[in-house]
Structure 1
C-alpha cells in the first residue's frame, strides 16, 4: 500500500492535500499530514476535471462572432458558443484590445477581476491579467473587497489602518488570558477553513477548543446558533439581523451609566468620547440610547443587554467582530462601535482582550505566524487612474460618465467598453444579479479566463480555457501562513486548456509585447525567481528558508512561529507618544473630524444608529430577513458543480434554513421546494426546518451557480444574490449590503 506521504502535494485556499491519481484522473485528495482539522472541500475536484462542465477549447459566443463587438449583448447567458483554435482566439483578443484602446482609451477596459483563484504564488490569475494590461497601458481597477469593504475603509479613520484586520491578537494570547469572548456575528469555523494564498494547517477550530478548555467563555451574537460551534457551550443571543449597531450602542450606554468605563484609558488613548457620550445619553438628540431603547430595535430583552455589559466589564474580554457585520446597510458602524466598546472597557492592547476583526472569518485571523515580505509577481504600473469600489460594478455599467462618492471624494465612472475577468465570478459575489445581468449586456466585449462553464463563462463573448492547480506546477508562498509548499502537477490539462501565463503570453506575442510581459522566463524560471527573491527577503527578517532544490525534494517547509503571543496595539498602549496611530490625532478616533467634514448623512462623524434599508423593524407581517452567508462545502461558488456541494442539495436546490414556526405559518414542511422572492428576483431552495435560527429569519448560503429562467429570471439553483439589494453601505465605504434584505417564501407545488 502506498504511503500517503509519498503522494504529490498540492494546495488550495482551503488547505493542502496529498493527491492520489489513477489512469490520469484524480481519485482522492488526502489531508496534509500537518493539518489537525482538514477541510473536506478539496474532494469537490474528484470527478469534475474532465466532467461535462469543463471548458476544453477556446470558445466564442455565436452572435459576437457573427456580428462583431457590441452585437446582441442581451443574449449573453443564452447564446450558443463556437469553438475556435488558440491562434484564432489570440488574434481575436489582440485585435479587440487594439480597437478598444485606440478608439476609447485604456480606461474603457475594466479588469477588476475580483475573486479567488489559485493559491499558488505564480499562477495568480488576476496578477497575470493586471501585469499584461499594465504592459499594454493600463485599465480601470476596483478597490476593497466584497468581504468587508466598509470595514476596510472605516478602520483607517478610527485606528489608522486596515492592516489591523490581519494583525489580530493571537489565539495563544486569548487561550492564556481571555475570560470572555463576545462574538458579534459568531465565530463560524466553516469560514475559517479558508486562507488567502493557501494554508498548511487549520488553526481556528483547535484554538477555540483550547480556549474553552482554558476556561474562556463565549457569547454568540447572531441570528444563527451554528455561528459558534456547539462544543463551546456559548450563550446564544439572537438579535434581529442588521441591528448589531443598536445593540452595541445600548451596551455602551450601560457601561457609561453604571460607571463601568475606563476613563483613564479613554483620556489617554482616544479622542471624542465626551461627544459620543452626549449622543449616548440623548443630550444631542433627546433620545437616551438605553438598554430599553436598544431592546426595542434589536429584539433582545433589555435585561439581557444590561447583563452582557456588566459581564464584559468583569474580566478580560475580547470583542470579536465578524466580517459579515460590514455587509449590511451602514456596515461601517459595526467595526467602529466594536472598537469604541473595547476602548470604553480599557482593554485594547492587553493580552487576550480588546477587539478583533474577523476571528473565524479566515484561518489567518489570530494565527500565530511569522510576517515575512514575500515576492509576488510584479504587476508593473497602471497608467490609468480610474477605479470603482468593488461592489459598484453595476452602477458603473449603467452610468458611464456618472459620478459616485467614496471616502470623502467624488469620482466619475468610466465608459466601459471591454470587461476582462480571470480568476473570479461576479455572478456569485455581486448583489441583485438580475440587475447586473441587464447591465452586463452593455459592454461591447466580455473576455473570461475560466476552467468550467459557471455563470460567468456563460455570460462571456470570448472564453479562454485555463488549467486548475492540479494541472500545473506552482508554489504556495503566503506571508499570512507559516507553510511553504511545492505544488506538483498531478494530471495533464483537460483538452486544450492552458495556464493563464501561457494564455497572456500568446496574446502578447500578437501585440508585440511578449518580452515585456514574460521577461523571457518560462513558468519554472518564474517560480524559482519568486522563491529566491522571497528567500532573500526572509533572510533579512531573520527567517531561514531552505534552498529551492532542497524544498523541491522535501515538498514543504514550515517557518518557525514567534514564541511570544501577539497582542494587537500593545506598543501603542505601552507608549502612545512613541507609537502613535496613523490617525489625524494619533489616537483611537471615537469621533472623526475628518469623516464629519465629508458631510455624509449616511456616515456622520461618530458611531450612530441609522435604520437599515431593509430590516424586520420595518417589515410587513409576511416578510422574513434573509441571511446569505458563506457556504460550508465550497469556497464562494468554486466547485459548486462538484460532488461535495451537490450532496448537500435539497431536492436539487440550495438549502434554506427556516424556523419551524415560520414554516408552519406558510404550510412548509422539511424537504419541500420553496420559492424565495422579493421585488428584485426569486430563487428555488429546499427547506430545512430548524430551531437553530431566529424566528423571522431565513438563511440561504451563497455559492449556487446562478441559473436564471429566461422568462421569469428565477434562479433555479438557489443563488440568494438574486434577492439582495445592490446598494452601497454608505458614501464612505460603498461596500455591499447583502445582509440587509427582506424576502417572502412560499411552498412550490
Structure 2
C-alpha cells in the first residue's frame, strides 16, 4: 500500500458510461492522503511533440490542432467532491426488516432504513442467497443488472464483475442493455443504411471533410456544450467554435435554446417534441415538388424511392406532406420549413448529433431516425460535405469507421483487463426496458431483438421469450452494480413496483453512493470510486491523442469500501470459487494483462510503460487521404454496398416488409406517427386535454445521467438547482412565460409535473429559452421519494416516463417527449400530508444524505 503523506500526482481517466475508457484524462494531486486538486493532464510530460506527431486540420486559411493538455469538463474538475460526498456508503448495510430466515417484507423496500453489518456477514448472506435461490428455482433465477452509467474502470468494473462468478455457479439472467442514446438510429436508421453496431453513420475523417467542404451544419436535437462532457470533455465545444471560425453556418433544430444553441447557433428553429418526422417529410415534399433533390444519385444509390415519394405526395393516404400541413403539427412556420429546405438543397450540408438528443429517445423514434437518413440520401449522402457527424463517442467500440478526427496508428483497448460482462448472452436475457414488465407479468413475455447495441440489424427480426423456453426461470434475486434504473430508464415508477414484488426475494446493490435503486435493496455493498483504486485505462473519446495510461491509487478507500471486483471476490471466497473467479491473478497481474492485450505492447515494454505511466499513440501517416464518411459508397455503390438487403439506401425497407409487413408503427416506408396502439403521447390525441404539455428531458447539464447530483459546487449554480421557498434545492423546470402566467407560476415557485403514472416536483425557471407548450427538465436527478412509486421531490422525471417501449416491435426506451400537466404547489401542504417523508435529514448542498437511511445515523 502506498504512503500518501507527501504530495504526489496521479493520472486518472474520469469518464463515465463505459469500461476502461477514460476520455477525460486528468492529473490528481494528493497531499497528506487527501485529494487537493484535479487538473488537466499534460500530454507532453514524457513525450516530445515530434514523437506524438500531432495532427493539423488546415482549412480555409486557418488551422485546428490538438492542445497539449486534456480538455477537462467541470465534471472531472469537481470529482473530489464526489469522492468525499456525505452520500458515500461507508460500510455494508442490510435492510432492517429483511430477514432471510423469516419475513422479507418486499413491500417496504424504499421505506425501511438500513443497519450496519460486517463484510463477512454481507458476503455470507449473499453467498447463501445465491445458493438457495439457484437451487430452488434454477440458475436463471438470478438477474445480473450489469451495464451502463457507471465510472469507467477496467479491472474493477463495474458493468458486470458479478457475471463471471454467476457463470461459475451455472448461469444467470442478464439485463441486456438497450442502445439508450441511439434508439431511433438502432430501431429505425439501420433499416435505411445498415450501419452496425448502433445505426449512426460512418464517421471516418469527417472533421476534415466538413472543414473542407461543408457550408451548413444542422445540429438536430444536439447540444455540443453539454452532452459530450461525460465522454469527450470539451472537444465538441472547441470543434463547434472551429466550424464557426471557418465560416460554416450552424442551425439548431430543437424545442429549447440549449447551451450549444445559445453560444453557436446562427439560427434556432424551435420544433415541438415528437414532431420532427412531420417537418422532415415537409422538407422532402419541398425537394420533390421543386425538383431540388439529387435525382441521379437516387437512381443509382437508393431502393424504393417511388414508394416513399407516393407517401410524401399524399398518393398513399390522400394527405400531401406539405410545409403547411407540417407547420400545424410541429409549430415551425411553413415559410421556415421551405427556407430551410431550399438552403439545405443549395449547399453542402451535414447533420450533427450528440447521440441524437431527446427526439431520438422518444415515442416512435424509429421514424425520425429513418427520415433523417432519407433526407441525407436525397442530397447525395457521401458527397463532399454531406454526411452525418457524431459530436461525441469517437472511437465507439474501437471501430475505425467511428473516428471522425485524424486517425492514430492504433486505437488502444484495455479489454484484456476488464473483469465485467461482454456481449456474450447467457441462456436467458431480458431487454433492460422490459425488466419491470417481466417481473410483474404472470405470463411469459415476448419481444424482437436482443436490444444490445452491438448486435446486427437482422437480430431485430428474431423473437425471444422470458422465461426462456429451454431451461429458463422467473427472476427471484437481483444483483446490481448499476443501481440507477429508476432514474435513468423508462417508467421508473413501474420499476419501483417490480422491486417490491414478492417474487423478488433478495436485492443486492453495490455502489459508492446511497442513491436511487440502492434505496430498494436488501443488502448494500460499499464500493470505491476510481480514485481509490489501481487500474489501467485508455482515452479514445477525447479527439486529442489516443493514449493508454496506468492509474495509480490516489487515496485510501473511504470507510470500508472495496472495488466492484474486490466485492465480488469476497462473495466468491464464501462460495469456494475464489481461485476460479480470479484465475489466480492479482490486480497487478490483470493490469499487466490489459497492457499486453491493448494493441500497444509492441511499441514499448511494460516496464517503460510503468515508468512513464502512459503512452501516446502517434497520429497515423497519411490520415488526410482516408476516405470521408460515405464517400466510398457515393463513388461506387456496387463496390461498396451498405449493410442492407439491397446494399443501397432503402427508402422502402426490405427487411421490415418481409418480417413486419403490417406493423403500422414501423411500416416499410417511414411515416409520421402522432399516436397509435403503443403510445398516445401527442398533442393531437384527446389525452392532451388532461395533460396539455410535452416534456423534453435531455442529457443533463450538470450531471452525467444519474451521476454527480450531490456535488456541492455544481448545486450552487442557478441553472443546476432552483432554491425553493423551503430552502430545498429543486430540479429546474423550464416553462415559457406565456405558459407560466395563466398557471400563476413565477421564477422559484415549486411546481408539480404529473400524468397518470405519477408526479415529480421541481423548481420553476421561467424563460423564453423553451418554446410555448413545452416543458424542459433534465433527466437523471436523484430519487427523493415522498411516496415511492407515486410522488418524488428530487425531480426524477424518468419515474413518470411511459413504461411502454419505442413501439410494439421495438424494445427501446422512451424517456422524453411525453404528455404531462404542470401546476404550482404549496410544499407545506404536501409536508402536512406526508410528514414521515420530510423527517429525513437534509443537507442543502448535497441533498438527502446517507444518515437518513441508516438506523441510528452517523
TM over 0.5: yes
Question: What residue is the counterpart of 1:440 in the other structure?
Answer: 499
CA contact (8 A) 2:106 2:505 kept: yes
The structural deviation recorded for 1:593 is 2.1
The structural deviation recorded for 1:398 is 1.3
CA contact (8 A) 2:8 2:30 kept: no
Q: Distance in 1 between matches of 2:664 and 2:190?
A: 20
In structure 2, runs of 5+ residues without a counterpart are 1-5, 17-23, 43-67, 397-401, 449-459, 468-473, 724-728, 827-858
Q: Distance in 2 between matches of 1:429 and 1:294?
A: 32
Q: Distance in 2 between matches of 1:520 and 1:650?
A: 52
Is it true that 1:714 corresponds to 2:723 in the alignment? no
Select the residue among 129, 147, 163 that pairs with 1:96.
129
Select the residue among 390, 394, 408 that pairs with 2:436.
394
Larger CA deviation: 686-695 vs 669-678: 669-678
Is it true that 1:610 corresponds to 2:677 in the alignment? no
Question: What residue is the counterpart of 2:850 in the other structure?
Answer: none
Q: Distance in 2 between matches of 1:417 and 1:78?
A: 20
Structure 1 residues 423 and 166: alpha-carbon distance in aligned structure 2, compared to 1, 3 A threshold: farther
CA contact (8 A) 1:350 1:567 kept: no
Question: What residue is the counterpart of 2:76 in the other structure?
Answer: 42
Structure 1 residues 705 and 166: alpha-carbon distance in aligned structure 2, compared to 1, 3 A threshold: farther
The structural deviation recorded for 1:299 is 1.3
CA contact (8 A) 1:474 1:527 kept: yes
Show the 5 A alignment for 1:523-538: 523-535=587-599, 538=600
Is it true that 1:623 corresponds to 2:654 in the alignment? no
The structural deviation recorded for 1:373 is 6.3
The secondary structure found in structure 2 opposite 1:236 is strand
Structure 1 residues 180 and 65: alpha-carbon distance in aligned structure 2, compared to 1, 3 A threshold: same
Structure 1 residues 316 and 705: alpha-carbon distance in aligned structure 2, compared to 1, 3 A threshold: same
Q: Distance in 1 between matches of 2:127 and 2:217?
A: 55
The secondary structure found in structure 1 opposite 2:234 is coil
Structure 1 residues 56 and 728: alpha-carbon distance in aligned structure 2, compared to 1, 3 A threshold: same
Structure 1 residues 192 and 268: alpha-carbon distance in aligned structure 2, compared to 1, 3 A threshold: same
Structure 1 residues 143 and 607: alpha-carbon distance in aligned structure 2, compared to 1, 3 A threshold: same
Q: Distance in 2 between matches of 1:545 and 1:287?
A: 63
Is it true that 1:593 corresponds to 2:625 in the alignment? no
CA contact (8 A) 2:8 2:29 kept: no
The structural deviation recorded for 1:703 is 2.1
Question: What residue is the counterpart of 2:552 in the other structure?
Answer: 488
Larger CA deviation: 170-179 vs 39-48: 39-48
Is it true that 1:286 corresponds to 2:318 in the alignment? yes
Is it true that 1:174 corresponds to 2:183 in the alignment? no
Cα deviation digits, residues 4-26 of structure 1 (max 9, x gap): 99722211116122223343332
Q: Distance in 2 between matches of 1:566 and 1:699?
A: 40
Question: What residue is the counterpart of 2:711 in the other structure?
Answer: 642
Q: Distance in 2 between matches of 1:96 and 1:621?
A: 46
Question: What residue is the counterpart of 2:730 in the other structure?
Answer: 653
Structure 1 residues 713 and 191: alpha-carbon distance in aligned structure 2, compared to 1, 3 A threshold: same
Question: What residue is the counterpart of 1:582 in the other structure?
Answer: 643
RMSD after superposition: 2.5
Larger CA deviation: 315-324 vs 412-421: 315-324
Select the residue among 306, 321, 324 that pairs with 2:338.
306
Question: What residue is the counterpart of 2:584 in the other structure?
Answer: 520
Q: Distance in 2 between matches of 1:215 and 1:485?
A: 37
Q: Distance in 2 between matches of 1:711 and 1:277?
A: 49
Is it true that 1:8 corresponds to 2:14 in the alignment? no
The structural deviation recorded for 1:219 is 1.1
CA contact (8 A) 1:631 1:701 kept: yes
Q: Distance in 1 between matches of 2:608 and 2:249?
A: 45
The secondary structure found in structure 2 opposite 1:225 is coil
Question: What residue is the counterpart of 1:354 in the other structure?
Answer: 387
Q: TM-score, normalised by structure 1?
A: 0.92
CA contact (8 A) 1:147 1:327 kept: yes
Structure 1 residues 707 and 310: alpha-carbon distance in aligned structure 2, compared to 1, 3 A threshold: same
CA contact (8 A) 2:126 2:571 kept: yes
Question: What residue is the counterpart of 2:767 in the other structure?
Answer: 690
Select the residue among 185, 198, 219 that pairs with 1:151.
185
Structure 1 residues 384 and 7: alpha-carbon distance in aligned structure 2, compared to 1, 3 A threshold: closer
Q: Distance in 1 between matches of 2:261 and 2:647?
A: 38
Structure 1 residues 712 and 266: alpha-carbon distance in aligned structure 2, compared to 1, 3 A threshold: closer
The secondary structure found in structure 2 opposite 1:65 is coil
Is it true that 1:296 corresponds to 2:349 in the alignment? no
Q: TM-score, normalised by structure 2?
A: 0.81
CA contact (8 A) 1:184 1:244 kept: no
The structural deviation recorded for 1:323 is 4.2
The secondary structure found in structure 1 opposite 2:307 is helix
CA contact (8 A) 1:62 1:80 kept: yes
The secondary structure found in structure 1 opposite 2:285 is helix
The secondary structure found in structure 2 opposite 1:506 is helix
Larger CA deviation: 683-692 vs 243-252: 683-692
CA contact (8 A) 1:683 1:715 kept: yes
Select the residue among 105, 124, 144 that pairs with 2:157.
124
Structure 1 residues 274 and 155: alpha-carbon distance in aligned structure 2, compared to 1, 3 A threshold: same
CA contact (8 A) 2:359 2:817 kept: no
Show the 5 A alignment for 1:223-238: 223-226=255-258, 228-238=260-270
The secondary structure found in structure 1 opposite 2:598 is helix
Structure 1 residues 532 and 362: alpha-carbon distance in aligned structure 2, compared to 1, 3 A threshold: closer
The secondary structure found in structure 1 opposite 2:684 is helix
Q: Distance in 1 between matches of 2:777 and 2:638?
A: 48
Is it true that 1:551 corresponds to 2:609 in the alignment? yes
CA contact (8 A) 2:72 2:234 kept: yes
In structure 1, runs of 5+ residues without a counterpart are none
Q: Distance in 2 between matches of 1:171 and 1:417?
A: 50
Show the 5 A alignment for 1:150-549: 150-163=184-197, 165=200, 167-169=202-204, 170-195=206-231, 202-226=234-258, 228-321=260-353, 322-346=356-380, 348-356=381-389, 358-359=390-391, 366-370=404-408, 372=411, 374-376=413-415, 377=418, 379=421, 384-406=426-448, 407-414=460-467, 415-442=474-501, 443-478=504-539, 480=541, 482-535=546-599, 538=600, 545-549=603-607
The secondary structure found in structure 2 opposite 1:470 is helix
Select the residue among 86, 94, 115 that pairs with 1:82.
115
Structure 1 residues 416 and 350: alpha-carbon distance in aligned structure 2, compared to 1, 3 A threshold: same
The structural deviation recorded for 1:467 is 0.7
Structure 1 residues 685 and 362: alpha-carbon distance in aligned structure 2, compared to 1, 3 A threshold: farther
The secondary structure found in structure 2 opposite 1:111 is strand
CA contact (8 A) 1:134 1:381 kept: no
Cα deviation digits, residues 29-74 of structure 1 (max 9, x gap): 2223444642011244334434432112221112223645x82111
Q: Distance in 2 between matches of 1:486 and 1:255?
A: 54
Q: Distance in 1 between matches of 2:130 and 2:785?
A: 30
CA contact (8 A) 1:187 1:360 kept: no
The structural deviation recorded for 1:367 is 4.1
Cα deviation digits, residues 352-402 of structure 1 (max 9, x gap): 31234x435789774444463635136589673322222122111111542
CA contact (8 A) 1:202 1:363 kept: no
CA contact (8 A) 1:192 1:204 kept: yes
Structure 1 residues 398 and 289: alpha-carbon distance in aligned structure 2, compared to 1, 3 A threshold: same
Q: Distance in 2 between matches of 1:383 and 1:222?
A: 37
Structure 1 residues 279 and 51: alpha-carbon distance in aligned structure 2, compared to 1, 3 A threshold: closer
Q: Distance in 2 between matches of 1:677 and 1:35?
A: 45
Structure 1 residues 303 and 381: alpha-carbon distance in aligned structure 2, compared to 1, 3 A threshold: closer
Structure 1 residues 621 and 459: alpha-carbon distance in aligned structure 2, compared to 1, 3 A threshold: closer
Cα deviation digits, residues 549-569 of structure 1 (max 9, x gap): 323332333223343266222
CA contact (8 A) 1:591 1:606 kept: yes
Structure 1 residues 179 and 621: alpha-carbon distance in aligned structure 2, compared to 1, 3 A threshold: farther
